[in-house]
Chain A
Amino acid sequence: MDSIILLIGITLMYSTPLIFGALGGVISERSGVTNIGIEGMMVIGAVAGASASYFTNNPWIAFLVAGICGGLVALLHAIASVSFAADQTVSGVAINLLAPGLALFLCRYFFDGAAMSPIVEKMPKVFGDSWMAGTVYSNLNVNVTTIIALLLTIATWFVLYRTKWGLRVRAVGEHPAAADTLGIDVYKVRYVCVILSGVFAGFGGASMTIGIISQFTQTAISGHGFIAMAAVIFGKWTPFGAYGACLLFGGTQALTVLLGGGSFPIPSQILAMLPYAMTIIVLVLFVGRSVAPKADGVPYIKGSR
């Protein structure tokens, strides 16, 4: 029983950054822009969150700053893939090359050449720091970012399926020319969605550095953005689907922690592979059954149909 509670607690903790990243992926891909740069945007969010928390001592402000910084990086991707009709994979990869360099540069600049930040103020826990302290139930006292992730999932779903903006986003991702002929500005919709995806990814990075660990390190974000991309596919490009997929991946990671702490005769390096291997296995089993938005990854050039 105790280990199940522990598992739930750790699963929720580790899935939180993934959920933010995956929601970013959903919103961007639903508008027809593949965003492989989620990883890079998360890295920027991670360093921005930790640094802002260090300088302001206010993790809430830091969380917002992380989102804004993620959005700024996403703006680059939007310029390339929407205005310049660039190959979206190449542009996303460029973001992923740029972001870790920029993150480390900033880290060294802010913290006297160190490749990691000092310990900074974290986002609070839901029930306060002392709730059930010392018992296994304290694991269920999740960080507030976990709740924000859930609320953001619901909000994303509501906007996508219950509002006119969502209708437009989905139309642009499926058939941009149709939306264009009805006076919807395809470029504007895509810009907004890509920037929002960066904001979400920035939150995701911050939820790692000021939600789980309380500092920025070079490996704080290591493939999380790509696991989030896999969750988008596995979750069939829907917010709740992606949420569920992230819980699964988070659960795998939690399992790694639990097994690593126990007396299992599995080397830690092999356990560390588990989340990545799980991602591949899940994709093999499910990818053929989910259908991407029709115009996903296809630049829209006005006048071509």
Chain B
Amino acid sequence: MEVSSEYAVQMHGILKKFGVFTALDHVDLDVKKQTVHAILGENGAGKTTLMNILYGLYQADEGGIYLNGEEVKIATPTDAIKHGIGMVHQHFMLVENFTVTENIILGDEVCGAAGVLDMKKARQEVQALVEEYGFDVDPDAVIEDITVGMQQRVEILKALYRGAEILILDEPTAVLTPQEIEKLIEIMHDLIAKGKTIIIITHKLKEIMQSSDECSIIRRGVYMGTVNVKETNETDLASKMVGRNVNLTVEKTKAHPGEPVLSIQGLTVKDERGIDQVRDLNLEVRAGEIVGIAGIDGNGQQELVDAITNIVKAQAGTIKINGEEVQNTTPRNTYTHSVATIPSDRHRWGLVLPFAVSENTVLERHVDEEFGAGITLDYDKLKSYTTELIEKFDIRPSGCEDERMSGLSGGNQQKAIIARMVSAAPNLLIAFQPTRGLDVGAIEFVHKTLIAERDRGAAILLISFELDEVMDVSDTIAVIYHGQIVGTYEQGTVDENELGLLMAGGGAK
């Protein structure tokens, strides 16, 4: 492609290696001015790396960057900001105990003499910006008190405050409700009308169709081409992204629910700040069914799981497993009631990364006589047991029993957790964000395993922030908002918009 001033951004022949691993192999990108350009690829395909190079967080080993037809050198984020590039990261880069204004001016402060902050003037500038773009944000609010949607707008304001002409949005919809997504797309089109250019990184096909003009596809660090969104469809994009035909639907038979395994009555849980996160919540999960909990992050999902697993105390209510109350006991007690949990943050809760794979697979079960008599631990037995799991669950690389868990890829780490949980044949399996950060192949594996466990007769509680996942996998869909279940539906009896409204608190009881 010719270098031309018609394009806001052009990146040609970008090569980036981390050691021997090639993250980007001569990737090209051409973004026309005043368009929304999507970059599509699986987790780990290299799309974020590409944008981090554009934003100056990484340096390319080869290749050139051109803005408005002129070659530029971007060595640091400061350079990027100077060239009018702004980036909204997937995990927001906001200081949680700062106000909106403080976050926006950070690094480019409004000062009087001798570096003394002029907060009054700063506030006025932020207010003017908020009004110009019609964002619904209070400049004096503290970040930790405002919604995720608002935080995202603060991130966009940060870029605009620095005079960004080109905005990079990394997975901007991952944490939003359908309604908030619509609002975001509106904002994006509004910004285009005001002369900006937007690049969005995503692996969600539907949003590309709704929001973008063009879409570039990256697969395992290789550029697969750019398509005009009007001339393509979701299935086509999906196969380009993955490299094979993918089945976008989850196949399963009808559920045959049995007796209740988990029943929660009037559960109330406070967080460490003393605020009620779960309020008088009722929930039932029966054997042989998957109950999916839809909701936006921060509506009590974490505290709900923590209460069931006895990581935190419940202030009120009962949690019964097969009729026995387990609340306010110990994590071990929950486990001995045949409950296994796939945690949301596998690095924090699920794995001991410096341990060998074989040491990780017996967390929970290491106390069994099977793994050593008396106080000793039988490492040979650990290893042979792990070898079985590695074969059964196809954990790669094979023969990794003695390797450190930290050396495995995210997908294989997740497989190791699932292997560990499923091998206990639990009566209740809790899966909290089980596909976070996984690629399409691994997601398929997780979903199939959940359904297989259901068909074995286990009760499954699936909690996910991805609405599509909840809608595709669950037999029963419950919506959580503000610590309460605000609606329960059979699969297929409810559409996305209705759920989205409930997730955002619309129509709450």
Contact = CB atoms under 8 A, between A and B. Distances in A.
Interface of A: 162-165, 167-168, 170-171, 174-175, 177-184, 294, 302-303, 305
Nearest to B79: A183
A283 B388 CA distance: 49
Interface in B74-128: 76-78, 81, 87, 89, 91, 93-98, 102-103, 105-109, 111, 114-117
B77 A182 contact: yes
Contact of A181 (B58, B87, B105, B116): B87
B107 A183 contact: yes
B94 A163 contact: no
30 contacts: A163-B111, A163-B117, A164-B109, A164-B115, A167-B102, A167-B106, A168-B106, A171-B98, A175-B93, A175-B96, A178-B95, A179-B106, A179-B107, A180-B57, A180-B77, A181-B55, A181-B89, A181-B93, A182-B81, A182-B106, A183-B76, A183-B107, A184-B106, A294-B96, A302-B57, A303-B52, A303-B57, A303-B58, A305-B89, A305-B91
Contacts of B91: 305
A184 B96 contact: no
Contacts of A184: 106-107
Contact of B57 (A167, A168, A178, A181): A181
A156 to B, nearest CB: 15
B219 interface: no
Contacts of A294: 96
A171 B96 CA distance: 9
A181 B58 CA distance: 11
Q: Which interface class (under 10, 10 to 19, 20 to 34, 35 or more) fits B?
A: 20 to 34
Given A163-B111, A171-B106, A184-B107, 9 more contacts: A167-B109, A170-B95, A174-B97, A178-B95, A179-B107, A181-B57, A181-B89, A182-B93, A182-B158
A178 B87 CA distance: 11
Contact of A165 (B55, B96, B115): B115
A170 B89 CA distance: 21
B177 to A, nearest CB: 24
Contacts of A164: 109, 111, 115-117
A180 B95 CA distance: 12
Interface string B337-365: 00000000000000000000000000000
Given A162-B117, A163-B116, A164-B117, A182 B89 contact: no
Contacts of A303: 52, 57-58
A182 B95 contact: no
B105 to A, nearest CB: 8
A303 B57 CA distance: 7
B116 A183 contact: no
Contacts of A163: 111, 114-117
A164 B115 CA distance: 6
Given A171-B106, A183-B76, A184-B106, A178 B93 contact: yes
Nearest to A173: B95
> Considering the complex of A and B, which 8 residue pairs feature the smallest CB-CB distances, nearest first?
A182-B107, A183-B78, A178-B93, A164-B109, A163-B115, A174-B95, A175-B95, A181-B93
Interface in B424-441: none
Nearest to A165: B115
A178 B94 contact: yes
A88 B93 CA distance: 24
A186 B103 CA distance: 16
Contacts of A177: 93
Contacts of A175: 93-96
Max chain A CB contacts within 10 Å: which of B52, B58, B103, B106?
Answer: B106
Interface in B145-193: 158
A280 to B, nearest CB: 24
B9 to A, nearest CB: 18
